[in-house]
Structure formats: structure tokens, C-alpha cells
Chain A
Amino acid sequence: MPRYRHYRRLSVIAATLVVGAGMTAACGGGDGGGGDGASTGTVKLSFWTHTHPPMIDLNKKLIAEYEKSHPNVKIEYQTIPNTEFGTKMLTSLSTGAGPDIINMDDNALRGEYIPKNLLAPVDPAGFGKSSAAEIEGGYVPGTLDGAKDAKGTLYGVPSEFNGTAFAINKKHFKDAGLDPSKPPKTWREVVEYGKALNKAGHKQAFNFLYLHSGWYSQWFQTLANQTGGSILSEDGKTPALQSPGTKAAMNLWVELARTSGIADPKTSSRDATAPYQDLASGTQSMAIVYPWAMEQIQQSNPDTYADLAVVPLPQADPAKPVSRVYGYFWAVNNASKQKTEAWKFISYLASQHDRWLSDVSFVQPVTDWQSSEPAKKTPFIDVIAAAYAQGRYDQVGPHWNEVQDVIRKAVDEAVFDGRPVDDVLKEADESVRRSIG
């Protein structure tokens, strides 16, 4: 009898502990973007970014400085591998959790976050301004469009604004008897130069980066901008993958990557956590690049960096140059309990635009950024500035992740499997119709 009583008591205690722990875990998860710290007077802000080593270093420095000047603020900084970043951010924001401050690209902002009301509009008070228009007045016109909804409401300020350029390996060019001061101006010339580079032993003359659907989509839109194609119709309601311009873009990709034979796409490095490995290691001779990529190569492979030159992006029609721009923006979770504090911190990050350019090669398109001292010291900044002038933001639409998956599949089948472009685009067009329909 006493033995049973002992068991009973034990079981009741165990049940209480386990169920109590379970309920605590179930009810306590996700505080909607950090605790409010009301009980201690400390403001805790959570801040998530993807992984890019130079950016992470500067973020850590700026956080330390901000915490020093704002002793009541504690910032929990978390970096998430690039391959998981989009999924983790979207899922956590959608469930009302997620960080107070996010740093995300304009595709995700306009395609997913803003339409789903996951972000808070910019709070001018956090910037010490009276209106969003006043904030916008500090930036080059049009550059904040990547963080606006259809009505023009602003949801973020740029941490980086990227124009598309082209990198060539001057040493490889000299090996092939090419003049690095006369880089290819058209894609046709890229093929011609590529054949010369091949003959000189540089077998990977030009490659795209095949990392994940987002990268496929960005290359495709870069080419489609130049050939007059698009993924969706102008009103964004129907697919346009069978239009002549879009077919021309895919044919151009197939020619550059497959039929010209100037490189083997199957040997291209596909590690999304460290893009541009082949260019950085001196294996690849030419690549489409962004400013941050050059900074990354400078830090990881300084010897190769010394051999690289950044030149304008080759064009389908040099008489009508078109480029692609994209941006990453600092924005605030709509579920955050301390939005104004979050915007104050963002305001501090944004105020350090010269350091972002000098330390990370991130251009923040504030008015007259080109005349800043770091801009003058950046060797290829004129090329990037010209790319901005010709650039346009990507097209986005509903269920954009699915659409990007469709583009990836079409490119894989056309480039890697050698299926006819007309066939893959016809199937892709139907898939996009189902996704956005």
C-alpha cells in the first residue's frame, strides 16, 4: 500500500512538471519581435541579416557603438545562412514572431512582405523627420521604390543599392592576347572573347551563378531587361514567358552558357554561402558582378582582386543600355512592440553611409553619394554609378517564390538538359499562370 501511494504521488508530481513545461513552451514561444523590457527599463531589439562577412563585421561594430551611446538598448544580432534566410524570415514574420528589424531584398519586400502586411511603414519620428517624404528627400529619386507598395507608402531604407556590372580578369585577357582596356560591350563580344580565352587555356571564360531560384531569376531578368522581355505582363496579371523578348533572353542565356561552349555550366560552383568562388579563385575570366562581390573578393582573394577590372555590363543592344538594380532594405516587423526604437536604430545604421561604402562597398543612394570621400576612393564607382542610371528594379508579382522556382526549372532544362527553349518556356508559362492565377 505505501508503495502504491509513493507511486501515485510521484506520478502526480511528474505529470504536473511535464504538462506545465509543455504548456509553458507552447504558450511562451514568439513574443512578436523581442520583449519590451518594460520591467527592467531595457529595450531589447532583435535584428536578423543574411551572411556576408564584411557586412556582418560592420553591423557588429555599429551595434556596439549604438549600445554604448544608448545604454538602455540591447540589440540581439543574428545571422542566418543565405540558403535558409528567405524561408526562415518569411515563416517567422508570418507567424507574428521574427525579429524587430529585418534586412531583406526588394524582391521579397515587394513580392511577399508588403502585400501580406508583415512590415510597418517607415516611422519618420525614428529618423527625427516630420514625414516619409522628408526621409525620401535625402535619397536619389527612385532608389527607394524597392521598398514601396503600389500606393507609394515607404517601408524601409536601403542598406545597399546594387547596380549590375561586369568583371574581367585582366591577366586572363592578356594571356589570350586581348586588351583589358577594351572589354566586351555586347554579349556577342563576350562569346568571341570567351573563345579566345578558351584557346589560352582559360576554360571557364564566362558563367552565370546557379545558386538558388532567386539568383536564376535575377540573371533572367537582367537579360530580359535588355531583350525587351519580362516574366509577367505589364499589369502583372498574366505570364509573358512566350513573348519574343523573353524567348530572346532565354536563347541568349543558352547561347552564353551552352551552345557557345565558352564555359561548362556544370562545373560552376553552386555554393550559395560563398558566391563568386570561381571568379575569386581565378578560375573564371568574366562574370556579372555587384559592388559587394568585389569587396568580398578583395577580402578573400586579394591576389585575384588585383587582376580584376570592373567594366560596364555587356548589352544586347549597346545603343539602348539597360541594367538591373536591386536593393536590400532595413525594415521593421509589423508585429514589433517597439517600432519607434527599431527605426531609431535603423536611422543610426543608415546615417553611416560613408562607412558602408568604405568598409563593405555597399552603396546607400543618399543624395550626392558619389561626391563622398569613400566614393572617390572606390576604383570602379563610376561604372556602378552609370549602371544605376540605366537600371530598373525587378518585376515582382504574387507568389513570387513559386514563379522564381518555375524560372529556375526552365533554365535548368534549357541550359543543362538541352531542351528546346520554346518547349520549356511554354511549360513555364503555364506553370506561372497556375501560380499567379
Chain B
Amino acid sequence: MSKKILIIDDDQEIRSYLSELLGDNGYETVTANDGAEAVEIAKAEKPDLITLDLEMPNEWGPRFYRKISQDDALKRTPVVVISGLNAIKYAIPKAIASLTKPFEPAQLLKIVKDAIG
């Protein structure tokens, strides 16, 4: 069964780019356009990995992360931060990786493959 990845980003272009990239490499994807919506989707879909933007209109990435880290079913889900902000590795120190946009697709795929196969 293919692994499921939740993509959280407020930019439609990035969401579809990531869906396509990960989909082409055999992963199933679901998307959310901000942190508030993403909590519900994460609870319903139980993804194997999450890619997370930081700056979003309603609920920002770090607040989403705080919520899922209090949820027993989700707290161990690996998170890859993908953001345009600088020095983002400090925003979510427990993320498995932090990528700054624009990023190399090969680099993301390697991180995802190393984390969930």
C-alpha cells in the first residue's frame, strides 16, 4: 500500500507541484491550505508524513505542529518544513528536515524516502 503524505501550504501552485512530484514517485497525497484545516485532515487521514509551510493566512505552521504534537495518534508523524522564510530550522526544531523555497525536488524525495520508504 502506498504511503500517504499530507501537504500543507497556502499556495495553490506549491500544493499542486508537490502533489504531482510525490504522486509521480508513488506516494498518495492529501492537501490542506492552512494549519486550521490541516488539523482536521490530519486526524481523518492519518498521514505517514507531513510537509508543512510556516506562514499561512489563518493558522501558521508552528501552531499546527503544536496541536498535532498533543495528539497521540499524530505526535510521531515526521514533518518536513518547506517555507520561504529564513532560518526556519529553528521554528520547528523537531522537524526531520527544513527546506527553503525554492528547493531541489531530488532533495525532498530523498528526505521522504529515508523517512518513510
Q: Do A and B bind each other?
A: no
Q: Mark B residues whose CB is within 8 Å of A.
A: none
